[in-house]
Amino acid sequence: MKLKPFTLAFTACAVGLFCLQAAAQNTDYPQRAVRIVVPFAAGGSTDVVARVLADKLAAEMKQPFVVDNRAGASGNIGADIVAKAPADGYTLLMATTGILAINEYLYKNMTYKARDFAPVSYTSLISNILVVGPSVPATNVAELVALAKAKPGTLSFASSGAGSSTHLSGELFKAMTGTELLHVPYKGSPQAITDVIAGQVTMLFDNAPSSMPFIKDGKLKALAVTSKKRLPILPNVPTVEEAGVTGYESLSWSGIVAPAGTPPAVVRKLNQAIDRILKTDEVRQRFAGLGVDPVGGPPEAFSQQIRTESDKWGKLIKSANITIE
């Protein structure tokens, strides 16, 4: 059946009007509160970065951006919530190295995959710091390695969760130093730090933002940083490589992602707003004081970062035969 010219014109007009309305809705985003799910406990580095961004996004986009902490299962609980949320831009995830590049190699029964998210912004790069409690006799990496080798299997390292960057930093350290260390996972950095300070656990490869206040107060001893360069806020603390572990580097990064299928216009609007925020002197200075490097850039660059890191950590996990039931 052939449609009459009037019918064709009306149909084309209706389709065009629908597209214009959809585009207008995306352009007007957000029209209500936006939730940023942080899949770890409050007070950790991921939470700190998320709250800085939420505050600035609310001012920039004239709607509330609310941080919702959903800790547990190495970030998998919070990530699963966002993966299954409506793809409308009103539920976002403060994702990490573990969630996007590590967990799928560790867990046999994952309820989500990295492909279930649309990358929005590669927000921050964070060096981990190798810290020990005040009761640990080691004052540098060489002494810590010697202590571990003298007492195989008796020293332990905490992490903010199995599969997190703090966990894999420890596993990489074990592999490259030939030491036997017991991994003790927690639901976030705050609990891990508490037990390291108390002497319940020997060491922690912690994200800089959450450990810095305790280092400044003398409650934790910083032995080395996991990046290739020293941190400006800890100029006298060497890198792990400088301390004798040649080739060692382990960085933690985070970024905002949305459920896959989120309209490109919404993703771009969020990306551009976050980019502007990350370039402000106020945020850059605040991040620098925490040991965080703001990154930014287009969603495509974030996608490439995820692929590169996934390849790196996937190889380590397989070679070390690390599994989590």
Q: Band of the pLDDT at 10, cuts 50, 70, 90? A: very low
- List, in order, residues 6 or more apart from 181 with CB less than 8 Å away: 148, 153, 155, 156, 157, 170, 173, 174, 202, 203
Q: Specify whether the CB–CB gap between 232 and 285 falls below 8 A.
A: no
3-state DSSP helix/strand/coil % of the chain, to nearest 5:
45, 20, 35
Mean pLDDT of the chain: 90
Identify the pLDDT of residue 2. 53
Report pLDDT digits (tens) over 236-262.
999 999 999 999 999 889 999 999 999
Report pLDDT digits (tens) over 15-35.
454 444 444 445 699 999 999
Identify the pLDDT of residue 4. 54
Asked whether the domain spanning 127-225 has the same topology as the one spanning 32-126+251-320, the reply is: yes
Identify the pLDDT of residue 271. 98
127-225 is classed CATH 3.30.70.20: no
Q: Specify the pTM.
A: 0.77
Q: Specify whether the CB–CB gap between 179 and 240 falls below 8 A.
A: no
Domain boundaries, the chain: 32-126+251-320, 127-225
CATH code reported for the domain at 32-126+251-320: 3.40.190.150
3 pLDDT higher than 70: no
Identify the pLDDT of residue 232. 87
Identify the pLDDT of residue 312. 87
